[in-house]
Structure 1
Amino acid sequence: MVQHTGAQHSALIVDDERDIRELLVMALGRMGLRCDTASSLAEARGHLARERYALCLTDMRLPDGSGIDLVAEISARHPNTPVAMITAFGNVDAAVEALKAGAFDFVAKPVDLNVLRDLVRHALDLHKGRRSTRDTVAERLYGRSPAMTVLRDTIAKVARSQAPVYIAGESGVGKELVARTIHSESPRARGPFVPVNCGAIPAELMESEFFGHKKGSFTGAHADKPGLFQAADGGTLFLDEVAELPLPMQVKLLRAIQEKSVRPVGANVEVPVDVRILSATHKDLAALVAEGRFRQDLYYRINVIELRVPPLRERQEDLAGLAERILERLALQQGRAVPRLGEDALAALREYPFPGNVRELENILERAMALSDGNELTAADLRLPRPLAPLPTAAPSPPTHPTLKPGAVDPRTLSPRDTGTSALPSFIEEIERAAIVQALQENRYNKTKTAAALGITFRALRYKLKKLGIE
């Protein structure tokens, strides 16, 4: 099956499930790629013999062999074609094996289209490697503001070093993008970049996931398994949300970094690894150290160099240009003309504090494009959430009222006749809305994780989002 879109780049999709092939063709087609598909290794090899591809996506299990074999073949015979592995959710073994065979990245089933789009963009960046590194960095980390200029200059300097880098910044500012940029500018650029969300790995599996295990070391260990450190050997290991690591794992991680070796679970000897550590979190790591929730020795070890990624509200000069670039990218994905941002819409964006930063800006503009009737986005199309006051970090000893958003009812100003059935529910709703939005931000807008963090069911969260008008 071939889908012609008139695009410059083409992709090869290898999967024996027709539904998956059709989903990927549709998603990549909206990004401007022409797609060829294959349901077997033999069919894929035939395509590769006839055409050069900007990207290949292959499933792990195929009717006539393993996708790992295809990864290795492409890496050896078509080194200019980035290949990514499609794995079962949570199958770190397959992901590690694919990275070792030469895959540049992997995506888990069920395929998250946002993750897929990011993966494709990174693949095309690799395909366009003829551009200078500086040009690539400027394109990835757009911004003319002083804060972004300083950030790019600092990245250029730290990339040459092998020292661990700690990337600080709020949710949605682009910490992983900064980490990927450091890696791509470094001498390790030809090695793997292995990102891991420390908050997504169950505590009882952490040691095995990070360091690997030997066959028979515990129930279910049917074969030797390399860990994430081994997968990143010769490249970069990015520890996202490093603040989520439990204290026992922090001790083991510190030793691995200091000794430059890991001991797989059940092994008698340590395995040397050559890995550069980049880490990030949206939390205040220094405050967690002071509270005893994060080891001070590990903090100093991973925080040899600290990079702060500025929030969007501190780079107002970049807002118009950033919005324009996002709209261009979204229009390309959707195969439509690039909409224009009206003056009232731009003014509304400049007034909005963006608690979700660049990620939230992307979501707002994508929603506006979907809801807009014309080719000019207005302030009404943006449907900006009402700005929220930050929640207090700790419960104060004397009873106080949290800061209210502009225009909200303050119970302290109400007369006795006003404190009837209308004011109290309104006040409670403001507190509830603030708590939900904060939880959404802390869990990267993952509703399942947000519901768990709030101690309510997913269905209850959906009801509250609709009731409170949170989009």
Structure 2
Amino acid sequence: MNMPVALVVDDEPDIRELLDITLSRMNIRACCVENIKAARQLLSSQHFDLCLTDMRLPDGDGLALVEYIQESGMQLPVAVITAHGSMDIAVSAMKKGAFDFLSKPVDLAALRQLVNNALRVSPNVLEKDRRTRETLLGESDMMCEIRSKIQKVARNQAPIYISGESGSGKELVAKLIHQQGPRAEKPFVAINCGAIPHELMESEFFGHKKGSFSGAIADKQGLFQAADGGTLFLDEVADLPLALQVKLLRAIQEKKIRPVGEQHEIAVDVRLLSATHKDLAQMVREGSFRQDLYYRINVIELNLPPLRARAADIVQIAEHLLARLAKANQMPVPRFSPQALAALQRYEFPGNVRELENILERALALHEGDRIDVGDLNLRIEEDESTKPQRNFNADKMSLGSYLEDVEKKALAAALEENRWNKTAAAKQLGMTFRSFRYRLKKLGLE
């Protein structure tokens, strides 16, 4: 009675027949046409749940149909079928709003997976947004726009690049994109690329076969296979070595991977999200990040504003975090003094929301009574340059060795905090070997 209906647009009779048969076996009725004109006529007269269109058509290309559907405001997922190796065209289609793409010759298993994903895109995404928006707080114009973008990009399968400073909530945004999309019931797999030793990266991403290298005592599933059907989030993607960037590019383009030691490729269906606090465009210009991979993962970019740029949201976020922390510690929720709230709104938050949470966790542990005052926050407020006391090295007050040791301590501590206390990633950021980094931590009493 409620059989889904798909619009198939292709000028090759064999492809139309193949798609028609495949869809009918999935209990989906297909309406097949051979050009854009016929497709537009059908779109204006009846409802469809999905559209599959070839890119090369007698009266234009599939991009024109994608644009027409987007401009008309139809909530209709469109997948484009491209010639083998035409990834640039597929990327252009997804930038214009296409749901996903398929390459010729059409892989039927990939087609069925794509169709199932498309049919799970509910027009009631706004309802999901109301259920999950409490995790992305703030009523500033910036945050309202971010939530609106999440709602839109969650509907398709285009790779998303999330940029923003450390601690600004990039992983949270990635989770919301996953939760509000058609893959919500499938795995969400997140990995910090800077935390994996380079020699293990290929195995971690693509898996390996038993005996493929020393120490491979059993078959191992990689991250792509673990996320199959769901979403793979690559945090700090800028830390990927160039050799792995080449293999990642192929996995994205072909939707296939080859585990280490395996002779055959394995098809995988993964929505790729990536993020970094570094300037990826600058890294491309410097040659430390591949330009072709940059364009593949950056089909759509979401830039998260730093917390200091939306001071109006700080009170709401602080109260939410404090209530959550108090509940986790089975403590009554204290209130903020007006002075404490004012101080939080003035503070620059170089570590963004993550730093705010750390400040509140410390204040919750150390405060007395039923409220948190300015002193409990222990904010590192920077004075104005004209009134700031001289902090340069003074030989009369301290030795050069002590001064340099203090500078080194601060640099090591900052790197650890920025990398969530991951020593491997912090050492790499500072250009040190892990062994040397461990030695300096121990010597300086930071172990």
Is the shorter-chain TM-score for this pair beyond 0.5, marking a shared fold? yes
* Aligned 8 A contact 2:194 2:425 in 1: no
- In structure 2, relative to structure 1, the CA distance for the partners of 1:255 and 1:423 (3 Å cut) is same
Name which of 185, 193, 200 aligns with 1:190. Answer: 185
- In structure 2, relative to structure 1, the CA distance for the partners of 1:256 and 1:451 (3 Å cut) is closer
- In structure 2, relative to structure 1, the CA distance for the partners of 1:153 and 1:195 (3 Å cut) is same
Residues in 2 aligned to 1:300 and 1:388: alpha-carbon distance in whole angstroms: 42
Check if 1:409 corresponds to 2:375. no
Residues in 2 aligned to 1:258 and 1:326: alpha-carbon distance in whole angstroms: 40
* Aligned 8 A contact 1:188 1:234 in 2: yes
Name which of 322, 338, 341 aligns with 2:336. Answer: 341
Question: What SS is found at the alignment partner of 2:331?
Answer: coil
Q: Aligned-pair distance for 1:213?
A: 1.6
Question: What SS is found at the alignment partner of 1:315?
Answer: helix
Check if 1:221 corresponds to 2:197. no
Residues in 1 aligned to 2:159 and 2:391: alpha-carbon distance in whole angstroms: 47
Q: Aligned-pair distance for 1:335?
A: 1.7
Check if 1:159 corresponds to 2:154. yes
Letter in 2 for 1:383: N
Question: What SS is found at the alignment partner of 2:263?
Answer: coil
- In structure 2, relative to structure 1, the CA distance for the partners of 1:446 and 1:371 (3 Å cut) is farther
Question: 2:396 corresponds to which residue?
Answer: 421
- In structure 2, relative to structure 1, the CA distance for the partners of 1:408 and 1:299 (3 Å cut) is farther
* Aligned 8 A contact 2:187 2:227 in 1: yes
Q: State the TM-score, normalizing by the size of structure 2.
A: 0.65
Residues in 1 aligned to 2:386 and 2:358: alpha-carbon distance in whole angstroms: 22
- In structure 2, relative to structure 1, the CA distance for the partners of 1:428 and 1:290 (3 Å cut) is same
Question: What SS is found at the alignment partner of 2:162?
Answer: strand
Residues in 2 aligned to 1:408 and 1:381: alpha-carbon distance in whole angstroms: 23
Question: 1:327 corresponds to which residue?
Answer: 322
Residues in 2 aligned to 1:344 and 1:227: alpha-carbon distance in whole angstroms: 51
Question: 2:416 corresponds to which residue?
Answer: 440
Letter in 2 for 1:375: D
Residues in 2 aligned to 1:189 and 1:153: alpha-carbon distance in whole angstroms: 18
- In structure 2, relative to structure 1, the CA distance for the partners of 1:352 and 1:430 (3 Å cut) is farther
* Aligned 8 A contact 2:335 2:372 in 1: yes
* Aligned 8 A contact 1:229 1:275 in 2: yes
* Aligned 8 A contact 2:212 2:260 in 1: yes
* Aligned 8 A contact 1:388 1:434 in 2: no
Question: 1:84 corresponds to which residue?
Answer: none
Letter in 1 for 2:379: L
Residues in 2 aligned to 1:368 and 1:462: alpha-carbon distance in whole angstroms: 28
Once the two structures are superposed, what CA deviation does each residue of 1:231-276 show, in whole Å capped at 9, x if it has no partner?
1111111111101100000000000100000111122211111111
- In structure 2, relative to structure 1, the CA distance for the partners of 1:434 and 1:406 (3 Å cut) is farther
Question: 2:167 corresponds to which residue?
Answer: 172
Letter in 1 for 2:189: V
**Which range is displaced more, 266-275 or 449-458?**
449-458
Once the two structures are superposed, what CA deviation does each residue of 1:377-424 show, in whole Å capped at 9, x if it has no partner?
1111111124499xxxxxxxxxxxxxx79614276xx9xxxx652388
Residues in 1 aligned to 2:170 and 2:303: alpha-carbon distance in whole angstroms: 9
Q: Aligned-pair distance for 1:446?
A: 4.1
**Which range is displaced more, 165-174 or 379-388?**
379-388
- In structure 2, relative to structure 1, the CA distance for the partners of 1:448 and 1:317 (3 Å cut) is same
Question: 1:317 corresponds to which residue?
Answer: 312
Residues in 2 aligned to 1:319 and 1:348: alpha-carbon distance in whole angstroms: 10
Residues in 1 aligned to 2:328 and 2:386: alpha-carbon distance in whole angstroms: 36
Question: What SS is found at the alignment partner of 1:178?
Answer: helix
Question: 1:293 corresponds to which residue?
Answer: 288
Q: Aligned-pair distance for 1:171?
A: 0.8
Residues in 2 aligned to 1:175 and 1:349: alpha-carbon distance in whole angstroms: 22
Residues in 2 aligned to 1:259 and 1:337: alpha-carbon distance in whole angstroms: 54
* Aligned 8 A contact 1:448 1:458 in 2: no
Q: State the TM-score, normalizing by the size of structure 1.
A: 0.62
* Aligned 8 A contact 1:142 1:148 in 2: yes
Once the two structures are superposed, what CA deviation does each residue of 1:342-392 show, in whole Å capped at 9, x if it has no partner?
111112212211111111101101101111111111111111124499xxx
Letter in 2 for 1:192: P
Residues in 2 aligned to 1:353 and 1:465: alpha-carbon distance in whole angstroms: 29
Q: Aligned-pair distance for 1:200?
A: 1.5
Residues in 2 aligned to 1:292 and 1:224: alpha-carbon distance in whole angstroms: 35
Letter in 2 for 1:407: K
Question: 1:246 corresponds to which residue?
Answer: 241
Question: What SS is found at the alignment partner of 2:273?
Answer: strand
Residues in 2 aligned to 1:143 and 1:289: alpha-carbon distance in whole angstroms: 33
* Aligned 8 A contact 1:191 1:234 in 2: yes
Letter in 1 for 2:129: R
* Aligned 8 A contact 2:283 2:289 in 1: yes
- In structure 2, relative to structure 1, the CA distance for the partners of 1:452 and 1:458 (3 Å cut) is farther
* Aligned 8 A contact 1:137 1:152 in 2: no
Letter in 2 for 1:140: T
Q: Aligned-pair distance for 1:156?
A: 0.2
Residues in 2 aligned to 1:388 and 1:213: alpha-carbon distance in whole angstroms: 54
Question: 2:31 corresponds to which residue?
Answer: none
Residues in 2 aligned to 1:271 and 1:332: alpha-carbon distance in whole angstroms: 45
Where does structure 2 lack aligned partners over 5 or more consecutive residues? 1-125
Question: 2:265 corresponds to which residue?
Answer: 270
**Which range is displaced more, 261-270 or 220-229?**
220-229
Letter in 2 for 1:179: A
Q: Identity of counterpart residues, as a percentage?
A: 58
Where does structure 1 lack aligned partners over 5 or more consecutive residues? 1-130, 390-403, 467-471
Letter in 1 for 2:388: G
Q: Aligned-pair distance for 1:453?
A: 5.3
* Aligned 8 A contact 1:331 1:337 in 2: yes
Check if 1:357 corresponds to 2:357. no
- In structure 2, relative to structure 1, the CA distance for the partners of 1:445 and 1:203 (3 Å cut) is closer
Runs of 4+ in 1 over 3 A off after TM superposition: 386-389, 422-438, 445-466
Question: What SS is found at the alignment partner of 2:252?
Answer: helix
Question: What SS is found at the alignment partner of 2:191?
Answer: strand
Letter in 2 for 1:439: A
- In structure 2, relative to structure 1, the CA distance for the partners of 1:253 and 1:449 (3 Å cut) is closer
Q: Aligned-pair distance for 1:222?
A: 3.1
